[in-house]
Amino acid sequence: MDSSKKNTAAQILDSLTNDIISGEFSPQQKLHIKTLKDKYNVGTSPLREALSQLIAKDLVVSENQRGFYVSEISIDDLKDIYQARAKIESICIDMAIEHGDDYWEASIIAASHRLNKYSKLKNIDVLEWQNRHSLFHDALVSGCKSPRLLQIRDSLFEKSKRYRNLWLKENVSNAETLKINQNEHAALMILALDRDKKSISKLIENHIMTPVEIIKKNLSQL
């Protein structure tokens, strides 16, 4: 495959991933090859390559003789993903505290400042807030020194994105919820700098699990 086809496959992968995560394609919706080719102006070969990679990401399933479908979402899957995320995040932060240096500490302080400052604005863009929020949590685990664990963490975060969209808007638009969220971020920063493994482990697991009840409520209304 030449470079232009590789680029096309990468572009269609990004577009399809974003459209599935954003809800443009509904859970269990059939993905017709011809419709996708017309929508994304792409050939059959790179499209099928992108769909194969989406299967690996658990965003698409393939049924013999029936084609491709968007993966379903469920409360059981939601809980499983978030519980796994909470445990992995706790392990990564524990290792970051063990190995992190003053550059690690500085990155946490900087990311916390950027997130906190943006969260105080009257008009918050959800995507920008999410980006700063992710960078703060990335900073917390950046001293982990385990590429394998961070790879697992990234994979679980990717799988959670379809569910996170059911929580993000409510979190950002509700001043009280956002304030609680920010207080937890401030506490996480302090505990990380204090190298308090026991306390931060408990807080990060609770923090990661916080959106689950909101998402469950929204899922029941779909």
Amino acid at 156: L
User: Residue 30: left if φ>0, alpha if ψ -120 to 50, beta else—which one?
Assistant: beta
3 state DSSP class of 174: coil
88 and 123: one domain? yes
Does 54 share its domain with 83?
no
Domain match, 200 and 137 both: yes
Q: Which of 27, 55, 70 is the last residue of a domain?
A: 70
Q: Residues 151, 202: one domain?
A: yes
Q: Are residues 96 and 34 in the same domain?
A: no
Please report, in tens digits, the pLDDT of each residue of the chain (222 residues total). 444 444 577 888 999 998 988 888 988 999 999 999 999 888 889 999 999 999 988 899 998 778 999 999 899 999 999 999 999 999 999 999 999 999 999 999 999 999 999 999 989 998 899 999 999 999 999 999 999 999 999 999 988 988 887 788 777 888 888 899 999 999 999 999 999 999 999 999 999 999 998 888 878 776
Q: Within 13 Å and on the Cβ side, how many CA atoms surround 185?
A: 25
State the pTM of this model: 0.84
Distance CA 30, CA 27 (A): 9
- What local confidence, expressed as pLDDT, does residue 167 receive? 83
Check whether residue 33 and residue 97 sit in a common domain.
no
Count other C-beta atoms under 10 Å from residue 78's C-beta: 19
Same domain flag for 65 and 115: no
Range of the domain at 207: 75-220
Which two three-digit tokens encode residue 65?
A: 């003789």
